[in-house]
Amino acid sequence: MIEVTLLGTGSPLPDPHRAGPATLVRAGSATFLVDAGRGVVMRAAGAGSGPNQLTAVLLTHLHSDHVTDLGDLVTTRWITTFEPSPLIVVGPPGTKAVTAAVLESLAPDVGYRTTHHADLDGPPPVHVQEVSTGVVWDADDVIVRVGATDHRPVEPTLAFRIEHDGAAVVVAGDTVPCASLDALCAGADALVITAIRRDLLEPVPLPRLQDILDYHSSVEDAARTATRAGVGTLVLTHYVPAPVPGAEDEWRAVAAAHFAGRIELGDDLHAVRIG
């Protein structure tokens, strides 16, 4: 069994009830965090987890809404672990530079804390692995594979397939439908994917909103991807616009027109068990 918890179901648009994109995946003794959006550490606490419990952070891409609280993860891991315990960050090429810049921004804080706390004798240990394809994790009965997605002009972007105990869950970030995502999803039990309501956004005469239409999956796109791959469960997140209370059934109906399996969406901390 793999448990997926939507820590943050929001988007770049500030929302008092939705944190930024982040999804927690518990597989056996491993806990993976996919993306690190606004409020991720607070929401992880709400899910009974935290930076000191993470096996690895998996980043789908380096758009700010997906990495904005990486610094909080780094610092909170550092000050809540009591043995050397590097934060492992797995992401696309470019992740090393972004992480180095985050660490640089923390330099004054690192100085304050290492001076003040005798048992903190160095900067936060962070191990970054830049990946593009193939198996990126194989330990503790968990395999994580990675595949490319298509969020152009944002490149490169990734989806992760987490396999454990006979179950497989793909967590995709922002992407339009593409062959490599189809291949990664083939035969998986669940697809977690960010989705926008094209039908609700298209009539809004705001150029910056119209710009996002061509590099995200609509709910219909996400549903068709799930159908092509034969997954049993489609989990939608990163809603644009955020569903108003009571609108979840309408979102489900839009997806159900193109996908016959289980459809999950909800508020932050909505959890789904797979397998």
Of 158, 153, 213, 197, the residue nearest 181 (C-alpha):
158
Identity of the residue, 18 or 164, whose beta carbon is nearer to Zn ion in the bound complex: 18
Q: Judged by CB under 5 A, does residue 174 bind Zn ion? A: yes
Q: Judged by CB under 5 A, does residue 69 bind Zn ion? A: no
Binding-site residue total for Zn ion (CB under 5 A)? Answer: 3
Minimum CB distance to Zn ion, residue 210 (Å): 16
Of 36, 16, 38, the residue nearest 95 (C-alpha):
36
Q: Judged by CB under 5 A, does residue 216 bind Zn ion? A: no
Identity of the residue, 57 or 167, whose beta carbon is nearer to Zn ion in the bound complex: 57
- The distance from CA 126 to its chain's CA centroid, rounded to whole angstroms, is 19
Pick from 18, 63, 145, 197 the residue near Zn ion by CB under 5 A: 63
Minimum CB distance to Zn ion, residue 43 (Å): 16
Pick from 15, 65, 72, 221 the residue near Zn ion by CB under 5 A: 65
What sign has the CA pseudo-torsion 131, 24, 179, 236? negative
Binding span for Zn ion by CB under 5 A among 92-100, 140-148, 173-181, 195-203? 173-181
Strands across the sheet containing 262-264: 134-139, 142-148, 158-164, 167-172, 190-196, 233-240, 262-264
Catalytic residue among 65, 174, 189, 268: 65
Classify residue 16 as exposed, middle or buried by CB count within 10 Å of its CB (0-12, 13-18, 19+).
exposed
- Helix or strand or coil: residue 134? strand
Minimum CB distance to Zn ion, residue 66 (Å): 6
Classify residue 6 as exposed, middle or buried by CB count within 10 Å of its CB (0-12, 13-18, 19+).
buried
Q: Judged by CB under 5 A, does residue 18 bind Zn ion? A: no
Binding span for Zn ion by CB under 5 A among 44-52, 93-101, 133-141, 166-174? 166-174
Minimum CB distance to Zn ion, residue 152 (Å): 11
Task: Count Cα neighbours of 1 within 13 Å in the Cβ-side half-sphere.
Answer: 4
Binding span for Zn ion by CB under 5 A among 58-66, 78-86, 161-169, 183-191? 58-66
Name the amino acid, one letter, at 54.
L
Give CA–CA dist 178/225, Å, rounded. 8
User: Within positions 93 to 122, which residues make up the interface with Zn ion, using CB under 5 A?
Assistant: none
Of 216, 240, 191, the residue nearest 11 (C-alpha):
240
**Which residues does 190 contact at the CB level (< 8 Å), separation at least 6?**
2, 4, 167, 168, 169, 170, 231, 232, 233, 234, 235, 272, 274
Identity of the residue, 72 or 163, whose beta carbon is nearer to Zn ion in the bound complex: 72
Told to judge if 65 belongs to the known catalytic residues of this protein, a careful annotator would answer: yes
Identity of the residue, 65 or 220, whose beta carbon is nearer to Zn ion in the bound complex: 65
Identity of the residue, 163 or 174, whose beta carbon is nearer to Zn ion in the bound complex: 174
Identity of the residue, 22 or 168, whose beta carbon is nearer to Zn ion in the bound complex: 22
Of 216, 237, 219, the residue nearest 169 (C-alpha):
237
Binding span for Zn ion by CB under 5 A among 50-58, 60-68, 132-140, 161-169? 60-68
Binding site for Zn ion (CB under 5 A): 63, 65, 174
Residues classed as catalytic: 65
